[in-house]
C-alpha cells in the first residue's frame, strides 16, 4: 500500500514536469483520476451548464465513480508514465 502511495506522489510531481502540455481530454482524465484517488466518489452538486470548466471537471470526476482509490491511483500513475514516454 505504501509503495502505491509513494508512486502516486511521484506521479503527481512528474505531472508538473511533462515535456508537453496534454490535450484537454487527457487533462480532464488526469483530474478525474486524481480526485477519485484522493477523495473518492464525486458527491458535489453538478455545476451550472454555463460554467464550462467546472462542468467538464465534474463530468471527468463522475466518469470514474465507483473506482477504488487504489485502482484510481494506479490508473493515474500509468497515465502520467505514458505521457512521459
Domain residue spans of the chain: 2-84
In CATH, what class is 2-84? mainly alpha
pLDDT in the model for residue 46: 96
Band (pLDDT 50/70/90 cuts) for residue 40 is very high
Largest Cα separation within the chain, whole Å, is: 41
Residue 50 and residue 34: Cα distance in Å, rounded? 24
Band (pLDDT 50/70/90 cuts) for residue 54 is very high
Give the model's confidence band at 47: pLDDT under 50 very low, under 70 low, under 90 confident, else very high: very high
- Rounded to 10°, the helix 2-15/69-84 angle is 40
Nearest to 79 by CA among 36, 45, 44, 42: 36
CA gap 5, 10 in Å, rounded: 9
What does the alpha-carbon distance between residue 34 and residue 60 come to, in Å, rounded to a whole number? 10
Say what the pTM is: 0.93
- Residue 1 has a pLDDT of 55
> What integer best gives the mean pLDDT of the chain?
96
Amino acid at each position: 500500500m505504501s509503495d502505491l502511495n509513494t508512486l502516486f506522489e511521484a506521479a503527481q510531481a512528474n505531472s508538473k514536469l511533462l515535456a508537453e502540455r496534454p490535450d484537454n481530454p487527457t487533462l480532464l482524465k488526469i483530474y478525474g483520476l486524481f480526485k477519485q484517488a484522493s477523495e473518492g466518489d464525486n458527491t458535489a452538486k453538478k455545476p451550472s451548464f454555463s460554467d464550462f470548466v467546472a462542468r467538464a471537471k465534474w463530468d471527468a470526476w463522475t466518469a470514474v465513480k465507483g473506482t477504488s482509490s487504489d485502482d484510481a491511483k494506479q490508473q493515474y500513475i500509468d497515465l502520467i508514465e505514458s505521457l512521459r514516454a
